[in-house]
Chain A
């Protein structure tokens, strides 16, 4: 057989596994899914020193071969050759944190018993040295019976030696067969394995001097009951201000480029359907979504940074008690915080929550966290209707309104959790046990690889779903064509307009006009489509050239009242307008019952919130 050898990276959470994966494979990675479960499969190609290629997969972090989560189950199943969609690896790279040998060696010992060719990466050896530990890799290697290579993944140290050892391990082939049964439902005696690991670590650690304890000193500040909370709130506030302020120059650049391309097409093509489709459908539709890439990247940058430095678990620690009031735990904080970027990774991150009811509640409220796809909608409405001035030193009114929308989502989510925990997800109170890794400076390369993957996923969405829905919408809006001399606009007369008219019977009481009802239909695919849909609708109605150059926000200002705009914002705080979220909920809960429930309760909330906002604003004379 000439298949490329498969090597799996395995290790405890916080062992620096992903950094090692990045260091070995570079940016050329493929992110997929294991069949039937929403566990991400990260694969990459690694070239050995002699040029032989090896396929490397990064398995989810696990504490042992006795899984407590779907993630850990995939790791277990892959290394025993029982995972659907994956062959038994030819060799394992087991990553252990050199500064945490006692704990990480337990899993390494369990893996060594499997009998697969194996190499241990004694990772973050620099931090262990800084902590005053002197470790002898030779002793570890002798006791485990496998090569042990000291590495510093974030600095790419030890990579050549690691590759050489992997090359030998792969060449050696699977000598021992996996004993059937072991690792598959067999009882693991964690305490016994841990004691063995501790004993081994004691022998491998030659000397131990008191280290500098950076993490402990930083935690004195960041976990301080008062200062810690102030820092957390300040950080969250900074992130949201940055998302708004830093992105503006880049967004202006993208908009200018979009205008320049549209102008070129306008001048170069004869009038007709092709030109209208290209300008109104493709360029304006897709462009109005791509323009939000800078904001999404800035938000993801902060989330990756918080994860990479180790601060994320501190935030969970600080928030645990607060979350427990709503029947959740600090463990829900990370999935919910990730949901600010996108509910899909957020919902997938709930797999680390052990308690099923706790997890279900977190999944159901995750869409209430303001995801990045809402930003386009919020930005355009805030930009058009909220004055761009300051309400205090350094506090912009627009940023404040945006912050308020995020807060509204959070409050809604907490109240929903409270109700859900007493009704559909009733059960014992959630628990909280979490390892708090040492602080470290993540490498720029790892951050950029993470950002690139997120940005790529967003652009692929913009290029496929959003592109397709924009075209379909353009067709539905352009046909049938309004007859000469009719008093109706093209969008009113079109097929889409007629559907919207029907829907508007329900939506009119909460202040929505027909264009909004129309935009809500394609926005089921993804929220940000609402913006491109509005852009397409209004640009199709423009006949005269001068008006066609108006920006979307100018058009909105001319056509919407302030109460309508505010109701529209309130709608998007709650509305479950994202098919991907519904799909991922279906997969994660393994039934249609919960995604169905999610759709119903969120639409009901959205309708009520938009209605109350509209009626209140109208009554207040806005």
Chain B
């Protein structure tokens, strides 16, 4: 297991959300992310990045695809299991 920031996770690599720094988010953003299923232990996988500065980033969260800004991806830490890293 290795812990990285969501923003550093390569595209199409699934990981598990380890920690979210809710306090670093604007209250409205934190609420929306919670409502869209962002939570510790949930599987997350970055799928697409927009043109111009690779921002925002579309992630698969649970069964849903949610677009967030890189600013959000910077405060989310994920756990990657080692074999997956090697496979990628």
Check A354 against B62 for contact (C-beta < 8 Å).
Answer: no
Contact of A103 among B29, B36, B52, B72 (CB under 8 A): B36
- Residue among B28, B32, B63 with most chain A CB within 10 A: B63
A470 interface hit (Cβ, 8 Å): no
Report the Cα distance A433→B29, complex, angstroms: 7
The answer to whether A433 touches B37 (Cβ under 8 A) is: no
Q: State A270–B48 Cα separation when bound (angstroms).
A: 71
If over half of B's interface residues share one DSSP class (helix, strand or loop), that class is named, otherwise mixed; here it is mixed
Enumerate B37-88 residues with CB–CB distance to A below 8 Å: 37, 39, 47-53, 55-56, 58, 60, 62-69, 71-72
Q: Mark A408-426, 1 if CB is under 8 A from B, else 0.
A: 0000000000000000000
Q: Given contacts A194-B37, A354-B28, A432-B56, are A102 and B50 in contact (CB under 8 A)?
A: no
B31/A68 in contact, CB under 8 A: yes
Bound state CA distance, A170 and B33, in angstroms?
Answer: 35
Please pick, from B26, B48, B63, B67, the residue contacting A320 in the complex, using a CB distance under 8 A.
B67
A236 to B50, CA, bound (A): 18
A219 at interface (Cβ–Cβ under 8 A)? yes
Q: How far is the CB of B76 from chain A (nearest CB, A)?
A: 12
Asked whether A223 lies within 8 Å of B48 as measured between CB atoms, the reply is: yes
Residue of B nearest to A66 (CB): B31
Chain A interface helix/strand/loop/mixed: helix
Asked if A318 is an interface residue, CB under 8 A from chain B, the answer is yes
Is the CB–CB distance between A320 and B29 below 8 Å? Answer: no
Is the CB–CB distance between B56 and A330 below 8 Å?
yes
Identify which of A191, A330, A431, A435 contacts B39 (C-beta below 8 A).
A191
Contacts of A434 in B (CB 8 A): 66-67
A206 and B26 CA atoms in complex are apart in Å by 38
Instruction: Find out whether the CB atom of B51 lies under 8 angstroms from the CB atom of A103.
Output: no
CB neighbours (8 Å) of A25 from chain B are none
Interface contact B31-A229, CB-CB below 8 Å: no
User: Which positions 191-228 of chain A face chain B at CB distance < 8 Å?
Assistant: 191, 194-195, 198, 215-216, 219-220, 223, 225-226, 228
- 7 A-B pairs, CB-CB below 8 angstroms? A63-B36, A216-B60, A225-B51, A316-B67, A320-B69, A435-B64, A436-B65
Binding site for B on A (CB under 8 A): 63-64, 66, 68, 99-103, 106, 190-191, 194-195, 198, 215-216, 219-220, 223, 225-226, 228-229, 313, 316-318, 320-322, 324, 330, 354-355, 428, 431-436
Since A68-B31, A432-B68 are in contact, a sample of 10 more A-B pairs with Cβ atoms closer than 8 Å, ordered by chain A residue number, is: A63-B35, A99-B63, A106-B35, A225-B49, A228-B51, A229-B51, A313-B67, A330-B67, A431-B71, A435-B67
Binding site for A on B (CB under 8 A): 26, 28-29, 31-37, 39, 47-53, 55-56, 58, 60, 62-69, 71-72
